[in-house]
Amino acid sequence: MPTTYPKCNPTEMMGLLVLLNSHKGSEDVALLADDLDLEIDEILPALEFAEILQLVSVSEGRTTFTELGKRLVEGSIRDRKAIIRDQLRRTTLFKTLLRALENAPDHSLTDDQLNQIVSFTTAPADEAVQNIVNWGRYAELFRYDSDQRRLVANRRTTTPRPQSSRPPPPGGTTSSGSGAGRTVHAGASSSPPETRIAGGVLVPA
């Protein structure tokens, strides 16, 4: 995918896709803008990024869902995040960011380092950085530490705890029967941040 940057936030693009779905997946761009009470130029950033992520196709002033776009709007919140995450990883910009985060000693990038990467695009730095952070957080690719002003990779620990092969201690109670004496390990939850739906539009929490 081309080196570009998102000129919209996740809420704006998802709102447009939800509206397109209510038009049976295909509609004139001008009519979509009318429904949102916006000028065409105001919805183009969201439409452009949806096309970059291969969720819609645009031809002769009409936009239509791709098969991937249909899957996204019909899926659960978790499914939508997974699709967006996979598509962002395919863009040159996010691929470069994730590689830089992976190679950094502490798996983080300062604002200056992030601006250096953004400088390879035609984006105004401040606008680009904010939108990049919004999309990365939405797709759970990374998080932003506002105190240290750093982009930080999400380091998920999903490897299951290995089972012990040692026999139980003498006199210990087995886990059969009522379950008395059983040891339960409660790890920290690794569930992603919750989202909510406001006015029919997906909104990151």
Domain ranges of the chain: 10-73, 76-154+194-204
Cα radius of gyration rounded to whole Å, the chain: 22
Over the chain, what HEC string results? CCCCCCCCCHHHHHHHHHHHHHCCCEEEHHHHHHHCCCCHHHHHHHHHHHHHCCCEEEECCEEEECHHHHHHHHCCHHHHHHHHHHHHHHCHHHHHHHHHHHHCCCCEEEHHHHHHHHCCCCCCHHHHHHHHHHHHHHCCCEEEECCCCEEEECCCCCCCCCCCCCCCCCCCCCCCCCCCCCCCCCCCCCCCCCEEEECCEEEEC
The Cα 181–Cα 171 span in angstroms is 11
Fold adopted by 76-154+194-204: Arc Repressor Mutant, subunit A (1.10.10)
pLDDT tens, the chain, 205 aa long = 455 788 999 999 999 999 999 999 999 999 999 999 999 999 999 999 999 999 999 999 999 999 999 999 999 999 999 999 999 999 988 998 999 999 988 899 888 888 888 776 665 666 778 888 999 999 999 988 888 888 898 865 333 444 444 444 544 444 344 444 433 343 333 334 444 434 444 444 4
The Cα 205–Cα 24 span in angstroms is 28
Do the Cβ atoms of 127 and 92 come closer than 8 Å?
Answer: no
- Cα–Cα nearest to 135, from 54, 183, 81, 74: 81
Reading phi first (left if > 0) and then psi (alpha if -120 to 50, else beta), residue 187 is in: beta
User: Do the two domains 10-73 and 76-154+194-204 of this chain adopt the same fold?
Assistant: yes
- Cα–Cα nearest to 20, from 57, 64, 59: 64
CATH architecture, range 10-73:
Orthogonal Bundle (1.10)
The Cα 131–Cα 125 span in angstroms is 10
